[in-house]
């Protein structure tokens, strides 16, 4: 960092809060069981490359057991339980999450690489809020607009990504359980630890065995789970590429499917926007969680008349971002989650330069060990460039310009994705005019990357289908 | 004096508000239940299907941008036009079914007129939904922050409809798709005459050209092209058999189309909102609050 305004002393969060076992089994039927196979993998700390734990890669026989346990719990307990009782279990889980929030946040940052400031202040409060929100729905489903007594679907197979491990778990499990389904959830192979700790939380809450089952593993485990004939519902969050494979896999069956996939969101700044506020929003839009966000504002569309002013302010701001130890409370940008993801970000960024865009990063010292990528922005980007079309899923911003609102809409919608968009202007009527024309599931005005359990989230076009959050999120788990 | 020789109608396709023949020059024979020749229907090709998608895409902006009130007016207008041509539909329907009494004791003529009446009533029912679905399916969301957060349904875009075999089925699949602002391409194999006569009604009902495009032809030939078409946003598989439906669902994954699988449809039952919501997106807007 140059011209640092302040000297920061390290302020690391204590690691002693968490107790990581050297090896984990699978959580099936309320018990920890060993995998029937012998395939195992390692979860590492992406900031240090230290091995955290060995985890089982569940095979077909393990998935069979988990689905059986979920079915048994569905038939004998969960689907018969009054909604008011299900609600109380979910409230209990929400409370235990709050009680153990610091522990969960530290574990999340260790396993994922995200800054503790984000896991502590954003992920964990949203996780608890999500369980609270859907707990309240469990005994009010008849008022949700899906008929007087909507039925659950049965056993839900849920596969979640590594960018928000515990938050995505909450988005999947809370509405499923509230509606009366039981679940088999597979966390990502690089970030399984908070889901495994969540299994302990289910035990603390006395959740009936088999209502929540956690199977760890990689793509093979996920495939065995979503194609399992005993599953009634598949919910997936992850890449569009894998989403397509899953959609093909469930074709011709009666399984219900919701997909929350990739994005290439436009963050549109008009000349009348509050520039300082917009700069914060742009930073939050693309550098939040190292840009590992499906709805990240990865395309900045700035009105030509304020381009120079905005870019100067943005570059100044990027110069103050602190990259480093995720457990340090001062850290803004943590570690890239895996070497594979780092390689993808590097290769697409190199492609950006090769295609003629100008690359810029603030002076930034990267730690020697671990996976790191500096905050990066590209100017002179055209719509045909790969960095303007493909999801990079890293701290890389592509800057494009526009002259008229109509041109902004045209460029923003020129993508096969349609998850989110941002609009920055002081004019309320323009916000609504733009919002009506942007083909995206979430439109943030004068803000970005905000989430709330009461706010439905999900994409248009190739960003997937179905909504998570709000009343709309119930539809994915009810017979409607 | 001999009996007057009837002037027969040529049944063509309906694309972008016009009535072209298939570019392939092909046709197929439509017969009565007894096997007598009734007409040659145009047999649409892949190229016709692609042209129809282009027409539907072109119409989407204006139709989805029209006020819900206006869309409701136009759907109601279609019902009015249908009402005026009840007998033509009933004759066509009667011509293609067996002239024996059904289990319900109704003769062919009675069944035909009941079918047309139900189709008209169904259209009136859906017309009324245009300015109500957002009130039922949208919401103002009580979030924790200084934003007015609201969700509203929006049409998915261009929808392919693999049409069922009756006028009532046709109306029951097309009306819920277009009333919310989608545009569509309908493929109709086994009730081509009703479909094209319906097109003639649509053409004089203030419905902008391209909102509904109707192709007659072989479902198995056309459906896979529409299912894999990258500029189609959704597909209703109602008219497909199990094997074709599965094949189309696999193809539809290419651009993650919204898929409505075939079910046990009872066209006389309360339709519910499911056929509308199947092709609706939900958009959530965070609008800032401040002084």
Report how far residue B81's alpha carbon sits from residue B83's, in angstroms, rounded to the nearest whole number.
5
Phi/psi for B252 (5° steps) reads -65, -20
A190-222 per-position pLDDT tens digit: 999 999 999 999 999 999 999 999 999 999 999
Q: Give me the total of CB pairs closer than 8 Å, taking one residue from chain A and one from chain B.
A: 107
How many angstroms separate the Cα of A311 from the Cα of each of A307, A319, B118?
6, 12, 62
- Nearest-CB residue to B284 (from A245, A456, A464): A456
Q: In terms of CA atoms, which chain B residue is nearest residue A458?
A: B282
Sign of the dihedral defined by the CA atoms of residues A375, A379, A382, A385, in that order? negative
Query: Given CB atoms, is A450 within the 8 Å cutoff of chain B?
Result: yes
CB-CB under 8 Å, A252 with B245: yes
Torsion on CA atoms A216, B253, B64, A421, rounded to nearest 10: 40
Annotated catalytic residue A294: yes
Q: Identify the three-state secondary structure at position B259.
A: strand
Can you give the residue range of the structural domain that contains B100? Answer: 27-288
The number of beta carbons lying within 10 Å of the beta carbon of residue A158 is 28
Max CA distance (Å), chain B: 88
Contact between A423 and A431 under an 8 Å Cβ cutoff? The reply is yes
Residue A8 is predicted with a pLDDT of 85
Residues of A in contact with B282 (CB under 8 A): 441, 456, 458, 467, 472
Task: ipTM value, please give it.
Answer: 0.96
Structure tokens at B195: 């479909």
Structure tokens at A476: 């994915």
DSSP state of B15: B
Query: Given CB atoms, is A442 within the 8 Å cutoff of chain B?
Result: yes
Its CATH architecture, for the domain A266-445, is 3-Layer(aba) Sandwich (3.40)
The number of beta carbons lying within 10 Å of the beta carbon of residue A4 is 10
pLDDT in tens, chain A (480 residues): 445 567 789 999 999 999 999 999 999 999 999 999 999 999 999 999 999 999 999 999 999 999 999 999 999 999 999 999 999 999 999 999 999 999 999 999 999 999 999 999 999 999 999 999 999 999 999 999 999 999 999 999 999 999 999 999 999 999 999 999 999 999 999 999 999 999 999 999 999 999 999 999 999 999 999 999 999 999 999 999 999 999 999 999 999 999 999 999 999 999 999 999 999 999 999 999 999 999 999 999 999 999 999 999 999 999 999 999 999 999 999 999 999 999 999 999 999 999 999 999 999 999 999 999 999 999 999 999 999 999 999 999 999 999 999 999 999 999 999 999 999 999 999 999 999 999 999 999 999 999 999 999 999 999 999 999 999 999 999 998
* CATH code, domain with B46: 3.40.605.10
Report yes or no on B74 lying in a domain: yes
Residues of B in contact with A435 (CB under 8 A): 283, 285, 287
Residues of A in contact with B233 (CB under 8 A): 461
Query: Given CB atoms, is A432 within the 8 Å cutoff of chain B?
Result: yes
A37: Cβ contacts below 8 Å, ≥ 6 apart: A56, A57, A58, A59, A61, A62
Q: In terms of CA atoms, which chain A residue is nearest residue B143?
A: A454
How many angstroms separate the Cα of A432 from the Cα of each of A296, A403, B284?
21, 19, 11
The H or E element containing residue B262 is none
DSSP state of B265: -
How many angstroms separate the Cα of B250 from the Cα of each of A22, A224, A257?
42, 18, 13
Sign of the dihedral defined by the CA atoms of residues B85, B86, B90, B93, in that order? positive
Q: Count how many residues are written for chain B.
A: 291
CB-CB under 8 Å, A251 with B252: yes
A426-471 per-position pLDDT tens digit: 999 999 999 999 999 999 999 999 999 999 999 999 999 999 999 9
Contact between B173 and B247 under an 8 Å Cβ cutoff? The reply is no
Residue B98 is predicted with a pLDDT of 62
The residues spanned by each domain of chain A are 15-261+460-479, 266-445
Annotated catalytic residue A271: no
Query: Given CB atoms, is B250 within the 8 Å cutoff of chain A?
Result: yes
Strands B37-42 and B27-31 turn out to be antiparallel
Query: Given CB atoms, is A406 within the 8 Å cutoff of chain B?
Result: no
Q: How far is A277 from chain B (nearest CA, A)?
A: 12
Its CATH architecture, for the domain A15-261+460-479, is 3-Layer(aba) Sandwich (3.40)
Query: Given CB atoms, is B281 within the 8 Å cutoff of chain A?
Result: yes
Span B62-85, average pLDDT? 97
- Annotated catalytic residue, options A179, A202, A294, A364: A294
Contact between B232 and B226 under an 8 Å Cβ cutoff? The reply is yes
Residue B89 region by backbone torsions, left for phi larger than 0, else alpha for psi between -120 and 50, else beta: alpha
- Nearest-CB residue to B151 (from A248, A445, A456): A456
Q: Note which residues in 171-190 of chain A have CB less than 8 A from chain B.
A: none
Report how far residue A108's alpha carbon sits from residue A164's, in angstroms, rounded to the nearest whole number.
9
Report how far residue B52's alpha carbon sits from residue B243's, in angstroms, rounded to the nearest whole number.
25
Q: How far is B22 from chain A (nearest CA, A)?
A: 30
A387-434 per-position pLDDT tens digit: 999 999 999 999 999 999 999 999 999 999 999 999 999 999 999 999
Q: Which residue has the tokens 């930073």?
A: A283
Report yes or no on B1 lying in a domain: no
Q: In terms of CA atoms, which chain B residue is nearest residue A430?
A: B287
Contact between B124 and B175 under an 8 Å Cβ cutoff? The reply is no
Q: In terms of CA atoms, which chain A residue is nearest residue B142?
A: A454
Contact between A442 and A296 under an 8 Å Cβ cutoff? The reply is no
Q: In terms of CA atoms, which chain A residue is nearest residue B158?
A: A461
- Nearest-CB residue to B255 (from A416, A431, A447): A416
Taking each helix axis from N to C end, the angle separating B167-178 and B108-127, rounded to the nearest 10 degrees, works out to 10
3-state secondary structure chain A: CCCCCCCCCCCECCHHHCCCCCEECEEECCEEECCCCCCEEEEECCCCCCEEEEEECCCHHHHHHHHHHHHHHHHHHHCCCCHHHHHHHHHHHHHHHHHCHHHHHHHHHHHHCCCHHHHHHHHHHHHHHHHHHHHHHCCCHHHCCCCCCCEECCEEEEECCCCCHHHHHHHHHHHHHHCCCEEEEECCCCCCHHHHHHHHHHHHCCCCCCCEEECCCCHHHHHHHHCCCCCCEEEEECCHHHHHHHHHHHCCCCCEEEEECCCCCEEEECCCCCHHHHHHHHHHHHHHHHHCCCCCCCEEEEEHHHHHHHHHHHHHHHCCCCECCCCECCCCECCCCCHHHHHHHHHHHHHHHHCCCEEECCCCCCCCCCCCCCCEEEECCCCCCHHHHCCCCCCEEEEEEECCHHHHHHHHHCCCCCCEEEEECCCHHHHHHHHHHCCCCEEEECCCCCCCCCCCECCCHHHEECCECCHHHHHHHEEC
């Amino acid at each position: 960092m140059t011209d640092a305004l302040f000297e920061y002393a390290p302020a690391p969060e204590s690691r002693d809060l968490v107790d990581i076992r050297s090896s984990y089994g699978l959580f099936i039927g309320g018990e920890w069981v060993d995998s029937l196979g012998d395939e195992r993998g390692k979860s590492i700390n992406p900031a240090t490359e230290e091995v955290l734990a060995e985890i089982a890669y569940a095979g077909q026989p393990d998935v069979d057991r988990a689905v059986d346990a979920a079915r048994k719990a569905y038939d004998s307990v969960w689907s018969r339980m009054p909604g008011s009782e299900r609600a109380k279990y979910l409230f209990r889980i929400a409370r235990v999450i709050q009680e153990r929030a610091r522990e969960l946040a530290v574990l999340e940052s260790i396993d994922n690489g995200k800054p503790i400031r984000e896991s502590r202040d954003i992920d964990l409060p949203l996780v608890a809020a999500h369980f609270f929100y859907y707990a309240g729905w469990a005994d009010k489903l008849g008022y949700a607009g899906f008929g007087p007594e909507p039925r659950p679907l049965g056993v839900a197979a849920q596969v979640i990504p590594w960018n928000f491990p515990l938050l995505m778990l909450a988005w999947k499990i809370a509405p499923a359980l509230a509606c009366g389904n039981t679940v088999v959830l597979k966390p990502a192979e690089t970030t399984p630890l908070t889901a495994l700790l969540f299994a302990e939380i289910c035990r603390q809450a006395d959740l009936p065995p088999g209502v929540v089952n956690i199977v760890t593993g990689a793509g093979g485990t996920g495939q065995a789970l979503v194609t399992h004939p005993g599953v009634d519902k598949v919910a997936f969050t992850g890449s569009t590429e894998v989403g397509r494979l899953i959609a093909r896999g469930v074709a011709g069956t009666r399984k219900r499917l919701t997909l929350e996939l990739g994005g290439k969101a436009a963050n549109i700044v008009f000349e009348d926007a509050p520039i300082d506020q917009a700069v914060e929003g742009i930073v939050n839009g693309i550098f939040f969680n190292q840009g590992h966000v499906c709805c990240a504002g990865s395309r900045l569309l700035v009105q030509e008349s304020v381009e120079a002013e905005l870019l100067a302010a943005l570059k100044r701001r990027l110069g103050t971002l602190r990259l480093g130890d995720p457990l340090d409370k001062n850290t803004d940008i943590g570690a890239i989650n895996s070497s594979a993801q780092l390689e993808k970000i590097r290769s697409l960024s190199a492609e950006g330069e090769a295609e003629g865009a100008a690359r810029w990063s603030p002076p930034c010292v990267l730690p020697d060990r671990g996976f790191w990528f500096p905050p990066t922005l590209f100017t002179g980007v055209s719509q045909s460039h790969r960095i303007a079309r493909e999801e990079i899923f890293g701290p890389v911003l592509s800057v494009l310009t526009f002259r008229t609102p109509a041109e902004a809409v045209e460029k923003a919608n020129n993508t096969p994705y349609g998850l989110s968009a941002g609009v920055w202007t002081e004019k309320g009527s323009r916000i609504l005019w733009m919002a009506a024309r942007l083909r995206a599931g979430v439109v943030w005005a004068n803000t970005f990357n905000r989430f709330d359990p009461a706010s439905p989230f999900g994409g248009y076009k190739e960003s997937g289908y179905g909504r998570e959050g709000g009343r709309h999120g119930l539809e994915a788990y009810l017979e409607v | 004096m001999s009996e007057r020789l009837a002037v027969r109608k040529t049944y063509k396709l309906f694309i972008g508000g016009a009535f072209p023949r298939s570019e392939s020059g092909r046709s197929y024979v439509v017969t009565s239940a007894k096997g007598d020749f009734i007409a040659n229907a145009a047999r649409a090709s892949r190229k016709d299907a692609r042209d129809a998608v282009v027409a539907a895409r072109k119409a989407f902006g204006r139709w989805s941008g029209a006020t819900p009130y206006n869309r409701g007016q136009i759907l109601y207008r279609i019902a009015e036009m249908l009402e005026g041509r009840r007998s033509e539909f009933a004759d066509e329907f009667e011509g293609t079914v067996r002239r024996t009494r059904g289990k319900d004791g109704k003769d062919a003529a009675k069944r035909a007129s009941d079918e047309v009446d139900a189709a008209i009533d169904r259209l009136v029912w859906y017309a009324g939904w245009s300015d109500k679905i957002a009130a039922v399916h949208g919401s103002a969301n009580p979030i924790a922050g200084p934003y007015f957060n609201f969700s509203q349904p929006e049409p998915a875009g261009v929808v392919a409809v693999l049409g069922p075999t009756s006028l009532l089925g046709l109306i029951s699949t097309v009306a819920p798709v277009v009333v919310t602002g989608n545009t569509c391409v309908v493929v109709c194999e086994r009730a081509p005459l009703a479909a094209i006569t319906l097109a003639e009604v649509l053409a004089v009902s203030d419905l902008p050209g391209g909102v509904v495009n109707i192709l007659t032809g072989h479902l198995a030939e056309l459906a896979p092209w529409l299912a894999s078409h990258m500029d189609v946003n959704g597909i209703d598989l109602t008219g497909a058999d199990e094997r074709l439906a599965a094949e189309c669902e696999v193809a539809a994954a290419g651009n993650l189309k919204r898929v409505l699988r075939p079910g046990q449809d009872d066209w006389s039952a309360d339709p519910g909102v499911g056929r509308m919501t199947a092709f609706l997106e939900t958009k959530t807007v965070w609008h800032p609050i401040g002084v």
